Structure 1
Amino acid sequence: MTQHKTIVECLVYNEYHGLSYTKKIMAKLPMDMLQLSCIQIASIALLLFTQAESTTEEISSHKNNTITSCIASERSALLTFREGLSDPANLLSSWKGDDCCQWKGVYCGMRTSHVVRLDLGGPECAFGDSGMPVLAGNISSSLLGLQHLQYLDLSCNNFDNIQIPEFMGSLHKLRYLDLATSMFTGNIPPQLGNLSNLRYLNLGFSQYSSSYGSSYNGTYSMDITWLSRLTSLEHLDMSSVNLTTIVHWLPVVSMLPTLKILLLSACHLRSSPDSLQLSNLTSLETLDLSGNDFHKRSTPNWFWGLTSLKHLDISSTGFYGPFPDEIGNMTSIVELELSQTNLVGMMPSNMKNLCNLEKLGSYRNNINGSITELFHRLPSCSVNKLQLLHLPDCNLTGSLPTILVESLGNLTWLDLSDNKLTGHVPLWIGELTKLRTLYLNSNSLDGVMHEGHFSDLDMLKDLVLSDSSITITTSSNWVPPFNLTMIHLRSCQLGPKFPAWLRWQTQVVSLDISNTSINDMVPDWFWIAASSVEFLNIQNNQIRGFLPSTMEFMRAKEMDFSSNQLGGPIPKLPIDLTSLDLSQNNVVGPLPLDFGAPGLRTLVLYSNMISGAIPSSLCKLQSLWLLDISRNNLNGSITDCLVNEYSTNTTSMSIVNLSLRDNNLSGEFPSLIQKCPRLIFLDLGHNQFFGALPAWIGEMLLSLSFLRLRSNMFYGHIPVELTKLVNLQYLDLAYNNLSGSIPRSIINCTGMAQTRDDADDLRSALTSGEFYAGNVLVAYTGNLTVLTKGQERLYTGEIIYMVNLDLSCNSLTGDIPAEVSALVALKSLNLSWNNFNGKFPENIGALIQVESLDLSHNDLSGEIPSSLSALTSLSRLNLSYNNLSGSIPSGNQLQTLEDPASIYIGNPGLCGPPLSRKCSQPGPIPGDNHEDAGHGVVSFFLATGSGYVMGLWVVFCTFLFRRKWRVWWYSLCDSLYDRVYVQVAVSWASFRGKTNG
């Protein structure tokens, strides 16, 4: 099985090798071997077995050297070999004195005193232990002086960038050669084909080793015909050796008649013959072809005819089609690994013939059928042999059967996670008395699990029921029969009271009871029980209380207490802690002067009531990668780290994500940030920072992709140096006092001009997640409110896809440079509430991905370019209160925008739909300062009317208070009346006389 293994699984599963010492070996293995497949672990067990079996006289001679003594020429050869090595950890410190048979890793024959075994390797790096000391340097040809050498192990070292020496092909007595995972590169020398006595050959590379970077190119071979000469070979491991050019690899391998184990995983093989004529592989018991890309139907294939196979792994090989009926012919099979092979449909009914089957793995295949039907197709001919059933993410449906299927009675491992199972968990789960691991998470299971489901599970170690609707109900005084190491119950119903049975779980390594409806005071016994937990998640409950003062003595590495009601100050943290999330609680007081966790990488404290200044003790956290202390009550300025106070490394910190928004921090732009060259995300928004933006932002923070300085008091020009940030895709300088113009060199910000093909670096900067046995335990997703489309929107993980330029609410002037139109990856552009003037950007239609465009409240003039209608992604547009004129463009997305009239209000010269004024009407002269089109005419009539009314009022008041003026006025009116009357009467009489005549 290649995904998420535990020692428990392989303890159980490697017993088919018949190795009595297997349990002792596994008990000493570190937890990092979770990523290894059982076949790889079996290989390691065989390696150790071979070492233990090599020859009795070698081992006894090393312990009791009363008879043997080192041969001088061989001692000289060993010393010359050591001179070529780099041994920084002094692993070969015992290589001194005359008797080389007493040196570490050197074994001599009891009768001959010849060096017959050189063991300078170890299994550590196979488990990803990057901290183990190793040998390096060159391998001297002086080893040829050890002509009686039968066993050579140089595995798990760091012979970086050197080839496997050709001279090794001259060590003719070698029966065991292990050069695995030692960073060899280049072509594998065909001279190794001269080692005709070889029984064990390991040239593989552990793909799970964390000791080496992804830049390692590894070894390759363009011709493997030399393998056919190793006729005594029983074990061949060439995992991760690049065999891309090898087409006919199988005929070569099939010429090895004694071969029992063949491991060719991740070799870039692309051909798998349908059948094989004249095959000598009659002894082959273990075949691992996983991780290659054959991309062909699962049948026909040559390996289905190997009836001697006991262990077959074809996972992740590109095979597709239905599960082949040929599976039923492999009656010797013990371990069958078919995961991630694009196989579909129900497994064949003739699987009942596999009477020796102990392990079945079919992770992430589309079985797409009833779980009950699948159970009935499992072999029952040998009752209670099946030990491990690994069927997660197989699209299994239906309910678990109510009666125990006979073939499941001896299960130690049951994984049915990530399927579509419904209904209740049956009581027969409690009858699996040998069960050690139970994964039922991520299904639609519901109902109640009570003490009866667990009462006989004495051997249970891993209980994973997360992301289901299961309610776990037990009495308050119930003492479980098991002592678990893993408890994952996320989103199950445990509350409202704290589950009392947890107090008896004293060996837990990983505990997840997040989102389980607990609404209770955290009991004191919980902190005692959790003191040995390494991964602890209680987030999204209503847990009250205080963090314990003894927290520093806990063994925790990852802790997530977010979204609860925990209060009090932050105590000194556990020394091994690497991740802490206390966000959305009621934590008070200042940040600790001594965090107590020097290896802390993630610290998330947002939405609390933390006060005071940011202490310089943060500078101690040299490994800190993500720091979010936003939405608190922090105040004061951010002091710089004192040189040499906490670290000799004063020029660089590891922070990638820094969020300090929504506090009361003040002072100039923090100079401390100069020491954070790896910053990708920086948010100082909604504080009281002031001063000019320093030019060094663009010179020291070259990795910056997100810069948010919104709602501060920064002033001055936008530094031209800021445009050196080629990765910048999110720039928010809104609500400051910035002046000047937009630098035309903003076109250099290719993060706004090109869509990212790979956002993994942003995703890792804004999100974090720790995994334990395939389950996310402590997870953080950066969250950010973005003003776009006219409203504030909360973005979480999807913020990595947001490309935004927001310079609104400043005092910027000048033209909107044409270069802005080249930022074609923008999704939101907001330049509103500034003093921009000049023409509307002509090439605005180039911003084909923009969804929100706001240029309102500026002094832009001229016509709106017709290219605006090319913005087919646009969902919000605001061009109001400018001096725009002419016809409004139409078509495409512009016809679907909400409240279209408000988009153009305050532009007196605009015409055409959606405005009521037609473009054929003569337009009024636009006024200044955004006045209405008829403002001048209205002003004229208002002034005239006001003067007329005022004149009448003056005359009226004069006549009211001046009697003589009234008499004179009425006399004048009477006189004028009489004169007019006489004149009219005379004229009328004269007119009538003429008419009658």
Structure 2
Amino acid sequence: ILMAKADMDTLQLACIQVAIALLLLTQAKSTTEDTSALHPNGTITSCIAGERSALLAFRAGLSDPGNILSSWKGDDCCRWKGVYCSNRTGHVVKLDLGGPDHYGGCDEGRQMLAGNISSSLLGLQHLRYLDLHCNGFDKIQIPEFIGSLHQLRYLDLSSLLFIGKIPPQLGNLSNLQYLNLDNSYICPFCTYSKDITWLSRLTSLEQLDMTYVNLSTIVHWVPVVNMLPTLKVLRLPFCELGSSPDSLLLSNLTSLETLDLSENNFHKSSRPNWFWDVSSLKHLNISANDFYGLFPDEIGNMTSIVELGLSNNNFVGMIPSSMKNLCNLELLGFPFNNINGSIQELFNRLPSCSQNKLQWLDASNCSLTGSLPTTPVDSIINLSHLQLRNNRLGGHVPVWLGELTNLAMLDLSSNNLDGVMHEGHFSRLEKLYTLDLSDNSIAITVSPTWVPPFSLREIYLRSCQLGPKFPVWLRWQKQVRALDISNTSINDMVPDWLWFAASSAGFLNLRDNQIKGVLPSTMEFMHAQEMDFSSNQLGGPIPKLPLNLIGLDLSRNNIVGPLPSDFGAPWLETLVLYDNMISGGIPSSLCKLRSLQLLDLSGNNLNGSITDCVVNESGTDMTSLSIINLSFRNNSLSGEFPSLLQKCPQLIFLDLGLNQFSGALPAWIGEKLLSLSFLRLRSNMFYGHIPVKLTKLVNLQYLDLAYNNISGSIPRSIGNCTGMRQARGNSDNLRYALNTFFQLGENKLVDYTENLTVLMKGQERLYTGEIIYMVNLDLSCNSLTGEIPEEISTLIELKNLNLSWNSFNGKIPENVGALMQVESLDLSHNDLSGEIPSSLSALTSLSRLNLSYNNLKGKIPAGNQLQTLEDPTSIYIGNPGLCGPPLSQNCSSKPEQIPGEYHGVAIDDVVSFFLALGSGFVMGLWVVFCTFLFKRRWRAAWYSLCDSLYDWVYVQVAVTWTSLRGKNNG
């Protein structure tokens, strides 16, 4: 029995040992198979024939302009690029054809696979890993058959320009651990799902990314997600989710570590919300969701949190004191909320436990007040990024900031900080690479011999006090990528070392100083992409520009000489040179700038005609240019309307005013320039009629032909100009033309619109951003005739209508009162007649009216805005037929006769009256004369009476005179 028992124990032990060995062998095989999937070119000499055929059929449906699959040849498919086989079985287990990422997106410079995703992939039934992201499968749906690849554990279909419905068949992939359907690259919201219950079947899923997938119709999405107990990462930003439950009765999300719900539209109170109760979270991003109310105290319970993003909501009040419990917190960002409290109190509520792990703090745009603490704060002592821009902070910058030895970014811009910063503020900031102190009243005063401890890459000191001399410490910054020292009171010659120190900068802004000197001849070797040297005193000619330059602003300087024959910047998009002394003609080299979108040469000494770009360097006819915004205003350019503009079909803004252009306006303006929104041709010598085809420009909202010699009448089709008729969206066109240039992040390099002026309300007005909303029709000072068409009254978005100094006749359109947006209306110096329409009193926006020097008559309308206009009598002067307030001439029941007109009496009766009057006068005179001629006695008596009267008058005068003299002498 004892022996039998011993044998049994031995047998059991043996069985246990065998079981353990089998388990270890299974794990080893599994590990080998999984590991082999990470390494191509395994030991198998040839892959399985059926799978090779499936791969070849898959390739046949693709286009491969970059020869990415050039290695797909031969029998051994396991050695093909992107194909991975199991060392144990030879089956294809991994297909990795994803494109490389580039700064968080796809590398657009890389040629990608395109075409169709063939169902031949079903021949790879052992496939565990499929990555096709960042390719060009343009505008196809996600294939349903992918749901039949049951062994898949990893599926990445992101950034593939898919469209349409997400197939619910993906729910069949019960082994799936990673699913990425991110559709943010180029085509956001092109995919959608109206029912995501299929997700609940992916019980092994650990990571899910559905960024930019439209889920707007789904209400109960959280319960579905709650059925995924292994989920660790959930990314649902930009999904248009409109609802979120307050809580979960039973949360299965005990493994969830990363939750990104940013950029949705929850629009609800900040608490309660189900995610505050997920204690396992390490990364939470709920930015830009319109959450409102106080910062929730529940934040303090999320003790595992490492990164917390709360930006762009409507949280109010101070952050909760419970936030001091977040001892693992490394990144905290809540910009664009309304804390409206003290910066010192904010610092006191930050966690300072566990060796001060907090590294990143962004509290920008939060209405923070007060001064920065004068002594160091433990909670931020290890910060690497501190961003407090655009608050209401005042006082001096404390010296202890210079002791934050880990600080890499310091952004205090757009506050009310003042005082002096010196060497002590920067003494230990060896890791600092971004310094932004812009838009404060800070003076940086350091010794000319000071050598900074840091090597900055980004320097933004706009509107600080650096001058009058160039800050010498900048010469030691050899790795600068962005430099903004605009409006810093520098009044100095530009030093040679500046061009060397800034040679690596991609962004360079020196505007609004008094910098003297010339641009360097070595400028072409700089790496800049955007440069702004405007409003200085730089002289000399324009040198050859840097190869990579995209935008250049040299306006308001003393640049002389002709434009260069070779600009040297083939990708130049923006060239602003107004208000200089550039002379000569427009060179043909401008035609080589095929990417040029904004060109402003106004206010120079340019002359001659603008020639067309007939051929390019290869001798072929040029098709089109990319120009959107073009201004040659205020030069001495001549010739006819430039035919070059026919090659600018994208043109939105065109200003040729104040030149010497002549000839008739071509009809092709309305056919070739269909995007035109702004057309200013004032003060030239154009003649002829207004082309009817000009009214085909439906986007036109600004038309200025004043001070030319345009004749004929206004086309009745003027009502077709939708841009003057509809309140919308044409401003978007003009906004794009004026405001899309010179941007780098949140730093706007130049406000180009500051160069735009409009003659309105009788004076030249400078417009900035609001020019995009200006709707203007100015045809003044021409030779236009005929009646003002009634269709003018349909242009109800007009803000300025000026038809003065022409020869219009007839009546003012009866429906002029429909122009409810008009602020300035000038119809003076014409031949308009009839009464002023009563509807004129309905113009509630009107602030300037001029109807002077016409032939208007009758009573002036009263009421509303007409009673508030300045100098009311001058509005109606030169119209003697008008009466009633504000004129002194009263209106009677019988209208006062106007010279040259006869009211109530026929012209024949008047003539007869004057003939009779003249005849009677002659006859009466001859009766007296003939009586004296033939009656001598009567004649003698008449002369005797005259002599007696003469003698009597003489005596009376003499006696009176003598009497008066006697009194005076006495």
Find the aligned partners of 2:730 and 2:396 in 1 and give their Cα distance: 42
Alignment equivalent of 1:175, drawn from 141, 153, 159: 153
2:74 equivalent in structure 1: 97
| Aligned-partner residue type, residue 398 of structure 1 | G
Cα distance between partner residues in 1 of 2:231 and 2:494: 60
Structure 1 residues 53 and 646: CA distance shift in structure 2, 3 A: farther
Pairs within 5 Å for 1:548-587 = 548-587=520-559
Deviates more, 1:149-158 or 1:104-113: 104-113
Counterpart-to-counterpart distance in 2, 1:886 and 1:359: 76
* 1:519 match: 491
Q: Is 2:251 the counterpart of 1:279?
A: yes
TM-score (norm 2): 0.88
Q: Which residue of 2 aligns with 1:331?
A: 303
Worse-superposed segment, 264-273 or 327-336 = 264-273
For the structure 1 residues 655 and 53, does the alpha-carbon distance in structure 2 shift closer, same or farther, using more than 3 Å as the test?
A: farther
Paired letter, 1:497: K
CA contact (8 A) 1:383 1:407 kept: no
CA distance in 1, matches of 2:529, 2:689: 45
Q: Aligned pair in 2 of structure 1 residues 922, 549: CA closer, same or farther (>3 Å)?
A: same
| CA apart distance, 1:241 | 1.6
1:76 to 17, 37, 53: 53
- Aligned equivalent of 2:240: 268
1:425-440 to 2 correspondence within 5 Å?
425-440=397-412
Q: Separation in 2 of the partners of 1:543 and 1:233?
A: 62
Following superposition, the deviation at residue 914 of structure 1 comes to: 1.6
| 1:57 has 2:36 as partner | yes
Distance 1:219 1:649 in 2: 42
Compute the displacement of 1:240 (Å). 1.7
Equivalent position of 2:88 in the other structure: 111
**Matched-pair contact (CA < 8 Å) for 2:397–2:421:** yes
SS at match of 2:393: strand
Query: AA paired with 2:675?
Result: S
- Whether 2:269 is the aligned partner of 1:297: answer yes
Of 675, 679, 682, 1:710 maps to 682
Number of the residue aligned with 1:347: 319
Partner of 2:144: 166
Contact in 2 for aligned 1:311/1:336 (Cα 8 Å)? yes
Aligned with 1:744 (options 713, 716, 719): 716
| Worse-superposed segment, 137-146 or 360-369 | 137-146
TM-score by length of 1: 0.86
> For residue 917 of structure 2, what is the aligned residue in structure 1?
none
- In the alignment, does 2:651 pair up with 1:679? yes
Deviations 1:680-725 (A, max 9, x none): 1111000000111111111111111111110011111111111111
| Partner of residue 392, structure 1 | 364
Counterparts of 1:427 and 1:321 in 2: how far apart (Å)?
36
Q: What is the aligned partner in structure 2 of residue 857 from structure 1? A: 829
Distance in 2, Cα, partners of 1:480 & 1:162: 56
User: 777, 788, 803: which one pairs with 2:749?
Assistant: 777
Aligned equivalent of 1:753, options 706, 725, 730? 725
Counterparts in 2 of 1:223 and 1:920: CA distance versus 1, 3 Å: closer
One-letter code of the match for 1:180?
S
Aligned twin of 1:149: 127
1:562 positional shift: 0.6
Contact 2:394 2:415 in 1 (8 A): yes
Residue in structure 2 matched with residue 226 of structure 1 by the alignment? 198
1:120 and 2:97 are equivalent in the alignment: yes
Distance change (3 Å), C-alpha of 1:581 and 1:417: same
- What residue is the counterpart of 2:954 in the other structure? none
Greater Cα offset, 747-756 or 763-772: 763-772
For 1:653 and 1:434, the matched residues in 2 are separated by 49
Aligned to 2:396: 424
The SS at the match of 2:502 is helix
Match of 1:732 among 700, 704, 714: 704
Q: Deviations over 1:75-103 (max 9, x none)?
A: 22111111111212211111112222221
Checking the alignment, whether the CA contact within 8 Å between 1:802 and 1:827 is kept in structure 2 is yes
Runs of 4+ in 1 over 6 A off after TM superposition: 972-975, 981-985
SS in 2 for 1:398: coil
* CA distance in structure 1 between the aligned counterparts of 2:69 and 2:403, rounded to whole angstroms: 54
Answer yes or no: is the 8 Å Cα contact 1:383–1:406 preserved in 2.
no
Within-5 A mapping of 1:209-220: 209=185, 212=186, 217-220=189-192
Q: In 2 relative to 1, CA 983–164 (structure 1 residues): closer, same or farther, beyond 3 Å? A: closer
SS at match of 1:281: coil
Higher deviation after alignment, 645-654 or 898-907: 645-654
Q: What is aligned with 1:477?
A: 449
CA 1:547–1:980 in structure 2 vs 1: closer, same or farther (change >3 Å)? closer
Find the aligned partners of 2:433 and 2:651 in 1 and give their Cα distance. Answer: 41
Which of these residues, 312, 319, 343, is aligned with residue 284 of structure 2?
312
CA contact (8 A) 2:106 2:134 kept: no
Q: Which residue of 1 aligns with 2:5?
A: none
Looking at structure 1, the residues matched to 744 and 670 of structure 2 have their Cα atoms a distance apart, in angstroms, of 39
The higher-RCO structure (CA 8 Å, 6+ apart) is: 1
The structure 2 residue matched to 1:701, chosen from 664, 673, 691, is: 673
Q: Which amino acid aligns with 1:186?
A: G
TM-superposed deviation, 1:982: 8.4
Residue 222 of structure 1: CA displacement? Answer: 2.2
Aligned-pair identity (%): 73
What SS does the aligned partner of 1:453 have?
helix
Q: How many residues align?
A: 884
Change (3 A) 1:916 1:500: same
1:195 aligns with 2:167: no
Which residue is equivalent to 2:915?
Answer: none
Alpha-carbon spacing, 1:314–1:647, altered in 2? closer, same or farther (3 Å)? farther
State the SS of the aligned residue for 2:183: coil
SS at 2:817 equivalent:
helix
Does structure 1 residue 134 correspond to structure 2 residue 106?
no
Does structure 2 retain, via aligned residues, the 8 Å contact 1:766–1:782?
no
The 8 Å contact of residues 68 and 111 in structure 1, kept in 2 or not, is answered as no
Q: What aligned pairs does 1:893-912 form with structure 2 within 5 A after superposition?
A: 893-912=865-884
8 Å contact from structure 1 (residues 559, 778) kept in 2: no
Alpha-carbon deviations, 1:840-897, whole Å to 9, x = none? 2222211111111111111111111211111111111111111111111111111111
Q: Conserved in 2, the CA contact under 8 Å of 1:541 and 1:564?
A: yes
- Cα deviation, residue 805, structure 1: 1.0
1:829 aligns with 2:801: yes
Tell me the secondary structure at the aligned position of residue 559 of structure 2: strand
Match of 1:73, as an amino acid? G
1:609-624 pair list within 5 angstroms:
609-624=581-596
TM-aligned CA distance change 1:264 to 1:978, over 3 Å: closer
- Listed one character per residue, the Cα deviations across residues 652-696 of structure 1 (whole Å, up to 9, x for unaligned) are 211111100100000011111111111111110000001111111
Residues 881 and 907 in structure 1, CA contact (< 8 A), matched pair in contact too: yes
2:265 alignment partner AA: D
The one-letter code sitting in structure 2 at the alignment partner of 1:56 is T
The residue number in structure 2 matching 1:409 is: 381
Distance (whole Å) between structure 2 residues aligned to residue 169 and residue 982 of structure 1: 141
In structure 2, C-alpha distance between the alignment counterparts of 1:672 and 1:490, rounded to whole Å: 39
Alignment of 1:972-987 (within 5 A): 978=944
Contact 1:68 1:112 in 2 (8 A): no
Task: Using the TM superposition, name which of 609-618 and 721-730 deviates more.
Answer: 721-730
Per the TM alignment, residue 782 of structure 1 is displaced from its structure 2 partner at its CA by 5.7
CA separation of 1:66 and 1:814: change in aligned 2, threshold 3 A: same
Q: Deviations over 1:798-833 (max 9, x none)?
A: 111111111111111111111112211111111111
Instruction: Give the match for residue 288 of structure 1.
Output: 260
3-state secondary structure, aligned to 1:169: helix
Q: Distance in 2 between matches of 1:124 and 1:984?
A: 124
Counterpart amino acid of residue 537 in structure 1: N
The runs of 5 or more residues in structure 1 that have no matched partner are 1-51, 930-971, 986-997
How far did 1:56 drift? 3.2
The aligned counterpart of 1:601 is: 573
Deviates more, 1:183-192 or 1:89-98: 183-192
Larger Rg: 2
Aligned partner of 1:846 in structure 2 is 818
